[in-house]
């Protein structure tokens, strides 16, 4: 699934979430998050995002 993270200033980051199974258990792969973490300097931090399903977008405050 392709997603876009958008912050309050209008900056955006494209990413993708993939799902596969290993021994019957789901495993999620996220690509594109590295650039977001680098740009927002959220290393080792917890943060919350709101998913807007109709737009396929994550909003970050």
Q: Which residues make Cβ contacts (< 8 Å) with residue 13, sequence separation at least 6?
A: 4, 5, 6, 32, 35, 36, 39
Pick the more confident residue, 18 or 59: 18
Torsion 46-55-26-22 (CA) sign: negative
Give the separation between CA 15 and CA 3, rounded to whole angstroms.
5
33: nearest Cα among 15, 9, 11, 58 = 15
Tokens of 61: 């405050």
What's the pLDDT score for residue 56?
65
What's the pLDDT score for residue 45?
67
Q: Does pTM top 0.85 for this prediction? A: no
| Residues 1-6, mean pLDDT to the nearest whole number | 82
């Amino acid at each position: 699934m392709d997603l876009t993270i958008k912050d309050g200033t209008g900056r955006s980051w494209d990413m993708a979430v993939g799902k596969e199974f290993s021994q019957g258990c789901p495993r999620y792969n996220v690509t594109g998050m590295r650039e977001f973490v680098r740009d927002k300097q959220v290393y080792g931090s917890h943060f919350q995002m709101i998913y807007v399903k109709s737009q396929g977008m994550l909003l970050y405050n």
